[in-house]
A and B are shown apart, each in its own frame.
Chain A
Amino acid sequence: MRDERAAQFTQPLVTSEVVASHGLTPEEYRKIVKLLGREPNHTELGVFSVMWSEHCSYKSSRHYLKRLPTEGPLVLQGPGENAGVVDIGDGLAVAFKMESHNHPSFIEPYQGAATGVGGILRDVFTMGARPIASLNSLRFGSIDHPRTRYLLSGVVAGIGGYGNCIGVPTVGGEVYFDECYDANILVNAFTLGIAKKRRIFTGVARGVGNPVIYVGSKTGRDGIHGATMASESFSEEKEQRRPTVQVGDPFTEKLLLEACLELMETDCIIGIQDMGAAGLTSSSSEMAGRGGTGVELDLSRVPLREQSMTPYEILLSESQERMLLVAKKGTEDEVKEIFDKWDLDAVVIGRVTDDRQFRALFHGVEVACIPISALIKEAPVYQRPVERPKLQDQLEQLDLSNIAEPTDLGSTVKLLIGSPNIASKEWVYRQYDYFVRSNTVVAPGADAAVIRLKGTEKGLALSVDGNSRYCYLDPYVGGALAVAEAARNLACVGARPVGLTDCLNFGSPENPEVMWQFSQVIEGMRDACIALKIPVVSGNVSFYNETDGVPIYPTPTVGMVGLIAKVAKVVTPWFKAAGDVVVLLGRTREELGGSEYLKIVHGLVKGTPPWIDLRLEQAVQSCCVAAIEKGILRSAHDISDGGIAIALAECCISGPEKPLGVRIDMREMIRGDALLFSESQSRIVVSVAEENLQQLREVAAEHHVPMQVIGAVGGTSFVIQPLMRLPVDELRAIWSAGMTSRIK
């Protein structure tokens, strides 16, 4: 039925300037014309531009992502859906994913971070899983950069503002500062949900004639071309892009969450998908793509915030808190009744067709008609040129004999423990509700967060990790270490990994040196995943993290989930009692390349990152988990940034009670600063009651893990013989104030 509005609506002309402004290359445009057999109209051009954007199509990364192992006996759903799903026994499954919201968060930190959290939550509950825990990985520029304080406060408040309001605890994360993020911060948000194994939902459109139902918030003009923005690099004029950042409404999302989960208890749903990047366009076409069907949408039925929106704007809007679902024909009223209860819109806006076309009507007039395959399968895939950076050889060179050993190593420990990347992050996580849902057994501030699973004896451990300096110096090793360390964090609380998700944050894929970094990181991750038997079940790629041609360090962040058989046996990193014996699992080598020590004390980002023997890594982790399961350990802490000296200091001061002292006496035939600050991998420092030491020796021998008794807990001083003696109260004061004193 044609009406006045349709008559008023005319499509702007598609010129070569218009094509270029949509981020499409001339070759890509020619491919569109060939696929359609004609020139696209303006609306269709918009649809292609978002579906073929890097953000939606993974055109530069797809070739490499295939290298990651995605299968395992527990994997119920691998990459390609809204979130990955893993079987955890007892008829239960967990769905999880991590996603980046880097560009929006730099432009508008509060809303950018908030909507990042909102988006990842929807990705998880669209699978039928109730979100029960979130994490985040945040990278800011130098702590002294004038903009860092504004960005940090805004991002943290945004994450809290959204997560707290919707009632999903933010149980952990990481915060790093480095100059390479001065003009391009990273905000990666992770959420995990729990579902019944037999009630997993997917984003699929099946059954010709089934209604396509729009639920949630109304559509506005916000976020149009957000996906395209996320596929460009920053330059001065991008500051003008503020309107492409969406505004979050966590209250509406809470209603949407409850309404969707209630609907999922019924038998109405065929498929359901979040309207995230590229909104209505990507959700509907991807659902049809997975179902091998077509979809016809009547855009005049879409609930609008602003009445004069064009079809182009309706299709490309990235307004938040919206979902698209395909229901069984005849259940429309039942769906509507549940959404009415929660005071939300639920409107039939289209139907599933059998012609495999994406068709959009506006007041009776067809405004777009594109084969689904052209949007999805035919999206370009690039094998971009790769080239090892010319500076790489120079970066890797590090001659320790040119680096003076500090005369006072005690002062060096104080300097490091108060440095922003190592100091306490309590200022950040106390702004997050990490307690809601009453499952949090290990709160933020430990190696991994632990939540219990009510009604079972089990627990889940969650960690997020990645050291971008390592990846910069050697992307292959850095990629492997990101996986290994995330898994080691889980081992320190007694969990065995079941799967991982990743956010791969890089510069422009059109830069061959960036593509080399990307390909190397993937290979490193792949090898570590295979060795440690951890499948990649979901993930996200964020390219174009660069400003005026300077890319960030290659930054893969790994979010990992582990299962704990008996959550009551969990241990935490900090020392528990005077008299306990301190033991090092693993060996320290002279590996200062890429270390926090080298950066903070000597101002150097050089050398090769620590090497990793994945077999030893696996053995150390298994040994630690076995000892925790046997109930032998009092504490376990991963040795990472700052080396063993910092790990030991953290064991003394990071607990909720009064700090405990320690007396350490260890020997290696290496220089003192390397002994203390080397970041050699596959090391865990544990404490045990003396009567359990023999049992620990047996477990270590069984796993072929080198172990060394290095000291005892007790007193009020942090003593490393014969190098230093520092009061633990002083260390705690420096550590507590290290970050906050520099942002206030």
Chain B
Amino acid sequence: MRWGVIVFPGSCDDQDVFDALKRDMGQKVKFLWHKDDLVGHFDCLVLPGGFSYGDYLRCGAVARFSPIMHGVVEFARQGGLVLGICNGFQILCESGLLPGALVRNAGLQFVCQQVMLRVEETDTPFTCEAKKGQLFKIPVKHGEGCYYADPATLERLRKNHQILLRYVDAKGRASPSANPNGSLDNIAGVCNETRNVFGLMPHPEGACNMLLGSEDGRKIFSSIAAACAQREHRHA
């Protein structure tokens, strides 16, 4: 399969995603420049973390107008897999590919720490290799990661099983103290209704090697790889 990592001006974790996929996961990866059109075949596009356009207007608000985003929206509409991490999640929300919004952390400060996540759904291409209720240790690092959606949207997310990851404590409980940023319902990651676009605040690319303290992030990338292999198999 082929991965594309989109580089916006101000992307910071683009190289991290690239290295995790290539060095730790042995995947084929290519950088894509935001000013270019999306050309070529890709199975999964990753919008990495960072501070696109300095986060100056509102996180992700300017990047959604980058030329490549037309191609990304079209790619998603046709069922292509899109993964947004941190700032990438914010861009996906701004561009309407994912519901809800990410606002200033409840504590008003930037937060960098390891968090525990609970896998809530496994019938998605992003979590198919995990077990329901499985715990991941993955770092977060953001100033605006508090997930917000209006009550109707939140209800729809629950009903459609679109909440894929929640912040939990070491025992797997979604308690207020386990929530690093005040996200509604401890939400750490959501997918769209058609389950091919996924955004999360934690950084799975920072948890793909035991030297960094965890390999749990690999499960997300390996799920995507497995889902793509299965798709190809079906098409063949």
- Chain A residues with CB under 8 Å of chain B are 157, 160-161, 164-167, 249-252, 254-255, 341-343, 429-441, 452, 454-455, 567-568, 656
Contacts and interface: CB of A to CB of B under 8 A. Distances in A.
Contacts of A439: 212
B20 A438 contact: yes
Contact of B53 (A251, A431, A438, A452): A251
Interface stretch (B108-116, B183-191, B222-230): B108-116
Interface in B9-61: 9-13, 15-16, 19-20, 23, 35, 49-51, 53-56
Contact of B56 (A251, A435, A568): A251
A251 B19 CA distance: 23
B145 interface: no
Given A164-B110, A434-B112, A436-B16, A250 B141 contact: no
A505 to B, nearest CB: 27
Interface string B202-230: 01011011011000000000000000000
Residue from the set B49, B143, B209, B211 with the largest chain A CB neighbour count within 10 Å = B211
Given A430-B112, A436-B141, A568-B211, A254 B203 contact: no
Contacts of B13: 167, 436, 438
Given A433-B141, A441-B211, A342 B9 contact: yes
Given A251-B56, A441-B211, A167 B112 contact: no
A165 B55 CA distance: 9
B205 A251 contact: no
A357 to B, nearest CB: 39
A431 B109 contact: yes
B139 interface: yes
A20 B54 CA distance: 42
Given A160-B110, A342-B9, A433-B141, A165 B51 contact: yes
A166 B211 contact: no
Q: What are the 10 closest A-B residue pairs judged by CB atoms, nearest first?
A: A251-B54, A167-B12, A438-B16, A165-B51, A433-B141, A431-B110, A435-B139, A433-B112, A160-B110, A438-B206
A440 B209 CA distance: 11
A438 B13 CA distance: 8
Contact of B206 (A255, A435, A454): A435
Interface residues of B, number: 34
Residue from the set B10, B35, B205 with the largest chain A CB neighbour count within 10 Å = B10
A431 B51 contact: no
Contacts of A167: 11-13, 50-51
A434 B53 CA distance: 21
A440 B51 CA distance: 20
Contacts of B53: 251
Contacts of A157: 109-110
Residue from the set A167, A431, A435, A656 with the largest chain B CB neighbour count within 10 Å = A435
B23 A164 contact: no
A341 B36 CA distance: 11
Contact of A431 (B23, B55, B56, B112): B112
Contacts of A568: 211
B36 to A, nearest CB: 11
Interface string B56-69: 10000000000000
Given A164-B110, A436-B13, 12 more contacts: A166-B51, A251-B53, A254-B12, A254-B51, A254-B54, A343-B9, A433-B112, A435-B141, A435-B206, A441-B211, A452-B211, A454-B23
A251 B54 CA distance: 5
Contacts of B54: 165, 249-252, 254
A254 B56 CA distance: 13
B6 to A, nearest CB: 15
30 contacts: A164-B141, A164-B143, A165-B51, A165-B54, A167-B13, A250-B51, A251-B53, A251-B55, A252-B54, A254-B9, A254-B12, A254-B51, A343-B9, A430-B112, A431-B109, A432-B110, A433-B110, A433-B141, A435-B203, A436-B12, A436-B16, A436-B49, A436-B141, A438-B13, A438-B16, A438-B212, A439-B212, A441-B212, A454-B19, A567-B211
